[in-house]
Structure 1
Amino acid sequence: MAEVNLRDIEKTFRDNLTVIPDLNLRVREGSFTVLVGPSGCGKSTLLRMIAGLEPVTQGSIEIGGRDVTDVEPSNRDIAMVFQSYALFPHMTVARNIDFGLRLAKTPAAEREAKLMEAARLLNLEDLLDRKPAELSGGQRQRVAIGRAIVHNPGVFLFDEPLSNLDAALRTKTRVELAELHHRLDATMIYVTHDQIEAMTLADCIVVMNAGRIEQVGSPMTLYKRPETRFVASFIGSPRMNLLDGPVAEAYGATTIGIRPEHLDVDRERGEWEGRVRVVENLGADTFAYVESEQLGSLTVRLEGDSTARSGETLYLTPRHEALHAFDREGRRLPEDTWRPDVASAGSA
C-alpha cells in the first residue's frame, strides 16, 4: 500500500476548458478514499490522471513518495478496475485473472500462488474453469478485481465499478469490497456519483463540485458537520432540508438546514405547520413529503409504522441542536455567530 499526494493539480483540455482548476489532496496509506460528486464534477478525470491515462496540465502526482507525473501507467504501482469488466470472453476465469502475469512472464509457481490467493479472497475457487458468459454480473466484477489483486499494487483505483449491477448485486458487492479492503489493508481510491456507496464504503470521502474539492472527511463528519451548502445537500438520503427566507433570516443566516430525522412531529402543535403531500412506507422507515406555506417543501423521517396520510396536517419542530446555518456564499456559519445558546456559553 502507498500514500498518494496530488499537488496543485490542474487539468485543461485543448479547447481551453478547465475541468480541474487547482486541486490538492493527500490520500492516506491504507485508506479507502471515495471521490464523490455529480456527473461532470471531475472525479473520473482526476482518477484517470492518478492512473496515468490522462496527462496533467499542471502540478504533480506522487505515489508512495515517488513523483509519477510523467511515468507510464504500467510503472506507477497501481491497478485499475473499470465500470466495464473488460474480460476476455474466450478465456476462463483463471486465465483472465492471471493474463497480466503471463504477459510479464511470471514464473509458473508464483503465478499459480497469486491466482489461487486472489480466488480465495474473492470466493472464486469454484468458478476458475468457467467462461465470463457463464457468470453473473457480480461474479464478472470480482474477476476484474482479481485481475488487479494478483499484481499486488500499491494503490487500487476503482472507476464506478458497481454501476452496471442491479440494486441487490450492488449491495452485495459493496459488502464484498469493504471486506476485501480490510483483508488486503490496501490503499483504495474509488469514484462514484452515488453518495450511499460513498457513505458505506469509505473511511475518507472527498466531495467534488465543478472540479473543486468542497470537503474532505470521514462519512459521519460530512454528515454531521457539512462545511458547505453543497455538501449538506449531497450527503445524506433523503437529502437535508434547506430553508431560505424569513425562517433563515431569523437565525441571521441565508440558509438553515435540518435533516429529515431531526424534525419532531406532532398532530396538534409545533413550530411549523405543513400538509402531507406524499407518504412513502419503506418498512423500517416512513418518509413524509410535506408542503408548508412558511417553508416550502420538507422531507420528514417517521417511524416505520407511522399512520401519517396524504392530505393530513402535521406540526413540525426542529431539534435546534441539529440545525445547520450557511451564509450567502454557501459556507457553514460558526455556531457561536447564530445560535444564542452557544454564543452565551462561550461568553460565560
Structure 2
Amino acid sequence: MAEVSLADTRKVFGTHTVIPELSLSVPDGSFTVLVGPSGCGKSTLLRMIAGLETTSGGRIEIGGRDVTAVTPSQRGIAMVFQSYALYPHMSVRDNISFGLRLARRPAAEIDGKVRRAAEILQLEPYLDRKPAALSGGQRQRVAIGRAIVRDPGVFLFDEPLSNLDAALRGQMRIELLDLHRRLGSTMIYVTHDQVEAMTMADKIVVMNAGRIEQAGSPLDVFDRPQSPFVAGFIGSPRINFFKGGIAESRGGDMVAVRPEHLRIVETGGRWRGRIRLLEQLGTDTLVHVTLTDGDEIVIRAPRMGPELQDAQVAIDCDDRHFHVFCDGQRVD
C-alpha cells in the first residue's frame, strides 16, 4: 500500500496545456476515482502517475518516494487498461505470469502468486484456457490478475469496464470493490461514468479541463457540489438549474435542485408547467416538464400513470434542497 501525492504537477503538449498546475493527495489504501467528461485530462493524469507520460513540471510521490523521473517499472505500480491486452496464443496461466517470467522470478514463486491471484479472481477453472475461450468479464479479470501478481503498492485502472455490457459492468464493479477490500491496496480508477464513480469510490476527484473542480467523498460531492459543473455532472438524472428571481433572492445567479427533491403539488407551488414525457422506471417515474417560461426540468416522482401525459402541474421544492451558485461557486 502507498499514498500518492501530486504537487503542482502539470502537463503541456507543445503550446497546449492539458493539465495546469494540479495538486492531489490519494490516501493510502483508498479507492480514489478520477471522473469527468472525455478530454478533461483524467487519463493523462493517470498515465503521469504511472510514468507513461512525462511531467512538464511539479512533483509526483508514491509511498513518500519522489518518482517524478523514475521509470514505470520502478514506481511500484500496476496498470489495467481499457483493452485487455492479453496474448491470444498464451493460456490464462501464462498471461498472468508473463511479467514474472520475464523478470526471471523463481518457478515456485510464480506458481504461488498465479494460484493466489486465480483464487482471488475466481479464475482457477480457466487457467489452461486461451483468452478466446473466455467472456469479456473473465478476460478483464485475467488482466487484473496480471497486475495482482506484481504485488504493487498502487493499482491504476484506466476505464477498465467500458468495453463490457451494462449487466457485466455492474457485476465487475462489485468484484473490483471486493478485490479492494481483500487486498487493501491503494487504487486509482479513471472513468467518465459518474454512476461508477459514485458507487465505487471512497474519494471522488471531479475533473474539468485539466483542473480539479472538487474532491471528497461521494456523498459530500453529491450533497454539496461546489460549482455548477459538479452539480450538473454528478447525479442521474441530471440536476435542474433555475435562474432569475428565485436565485437572486438567495444571493446567487443560479439555483440547482435535484430531480428527487422536486415534487408535484395540488395547490401553490413555485413553478407551473406541462408534462411533456413520462419515463417509467417501475417503482419511480421520471417526469419531464416544460415550464411556462420554456425551460425543461425533470422530476423523479413516485410511480405515475400514462394518463397524466400533457397534464398541467404545479411544482414545488423544500428550501433546504436548493444549491445556490454565484459566479460559478457555491453560496452557503
Q: SS in structure 2 opposite 1:256?
A: strand
How far the C-alpha of 1:294 sits from its partner, in A, is 3.9
Structure 2, unaligned stretches of length 5 or more? Answer: none
Contact 2:31 2:203 in 1 (8 A): yes
**Alignment correspondent of 1:207:** 206
Q: SS in structure 2 opposite 1:59?
A: strand
Q: Aligned equivalents of 1:87 and 1:76: distance in 2?
A: 22
Contact 1:264 1:319 in 2 (8 A): no
How far the C-alpha of 1:119 sits from its partner, in A, is 0.5
* 1:90-137 residue CA offsets vs partner (Å, 9 max, x unmatched): 001111001111111111111111101101111111111111001111
Contact 2:222 2:235 in 1 (8 A): yes
- Structure 1 residues 232 and 295: alpha-carbon distance in aligned structure 2, compared to 1, 3 A threshold: farther
Q: Aligned equivalents of 1:304 and 1:134: distance in 2?
A: 44
Q: Aligned equivalents of 1:290 and 1:88: distance in 2?
A: 52
The amino acid of 1:331's aligned partner reads: Q
How far the C-alpha of 1:265 sits from its partner, in A, is 1.4
Q: How does 1:144-183 map to 2 (within 5 A)?
A: 144-183=143-182
Percent identity, please.
60
The amino acid of 1:12's aligned partner reads: V
**Alignment correspondent of 1:12:** 12
Contact 2:251 2:331 in 1 (8 A): no
How far the C-alpha of 1:267 sits from its partner, in A, is 3.9
The amino acid of 2:80's aligned partner reads: V
Q: Aligned equivalents of 1:197 and 1:11: distance in 2?
A: 26
Give the aligned CA root-mean-square deviation in angstroms: 1.2
* 1:165-215 residue CA offsets vs partner (Å, 9 max, x unmatched): 111111111111111111111100000000000000000000000010000
How far the C-alpha of 1:284 sits from its partner, in A, is 2.5
The amino acid of 2:194's aligned partner reads: Q
1:253 to 2:252 alignment = yes
Q: Aligned equivalents of 1:306 and 1:226: distance in 2?
A: 33
Q: Which stretch of the first structure deviates more once superposed, 162-171 or 242-251? A: 242-251
- Structure 1 residues 220 and 295: alpha-carbon distance in aligned structure 2, compared to 1, 3 A threshold: farther
**Alignment correspondent of 1:35:** 34
Q: Aligned equivalents of 1:176 and 1:282: distance in 2?
A: 26
* 1:215-256 residue CA offsets vs partner (Å, 9 max, x unmatched): 000000000000111100000001111111232223221000
The amino acid of 2:190's aligned partner reads: V
1:319 to 2:318 alignment = yes
1:225 to 2:227 alignment = no
Q: SS in structure 1 opposite 2:49?
A: helix
Q: How does 1:58-69 map to 2 (within 5 A)?
A: 58-69=57-68
Q: Aligned equivalents of 2:279 and 2:95: distance in 1?
A: 45
Q: Aligned equivalents of 2:291 and 2:159: distance in 1?
A: 38
Contact 1:260 1:300 in 2 (8 A): yes
How far the C-alpha of 1:305 sits from its partner, in A, is 5.0
Contact 1:243 1:256 in 2 (8 A): yes
Contact 1:267 1:313 in 2 (8 A): no
- TM-score of the two chains, using structure 1 as the length reference: 0.93
How far the C-alpha of 1:308 sits from its partner, in A, is 6.2
1:3 to 2:3 alignment = yes
Q: Aligned equivalents of 2:132 and 2:208: distance in 1?
A: 38
Contact 2:114 2:149 in 1 (8 A): yes
Q: Aligned equivalents of 1:116 and 1:23: distance in 2?
A: 40
Q: Aligned equivalents of 1:116 and 1:304: distance in 2?
A: 49
Structure 1, unaligned stretches of length 5 or more? Answer: 335-348
Q: SS in structure 1 opposite 2:9?
A: strand
Q: Aligned equivalents of 1:280 and 1:212: distance in 2?
A: 35
- Structure 1 residues 62 and 281: alpha-carbon distance in aligned structure 2, compared to 1, 3 A threshold: same
The amino acid of 1:222's aligned partner reads: V
* 1:12-40 residue CA offsets vs partner (Å, 9 max, x unmatched): 012x1001111000000000000000111
Contact 1:272 1:294 in 2 (8 A): no
- Structure 1 residues 324 and 93: alpha-carbon distance in aligned structure 2, compared to 1, 3 A threshold: same
- TM-score of the two chains, using structure 2 as the length reference: 0.98
The amino acid of 2:10's aligned partner reads: E
Q: Aligned equivalents of 2:283 and 2:57: distance in 1?
A: 49
**Alignment correspondent of 1:241:** 240
The amino acid of 1:9's aligned partner reads: T
Q: SS in structure 1 opposite 2:299?
A: strand
**Alignment correspondent of 1:134:** 133
Q: How does 1:52-131 map to 2 (within 5 A)?
A: 52-131=51-130
Q: Aligned equivalents of 2:264 and 2:58: distance in 1?
A: 52
Q: Aligned equivalents of 1:163 and 1:206: distance in 2?
A: 19
**Alignment correspondent of 1:332:** 330
Runs of 4+ in 1 over 6 A off after TM superposition: none
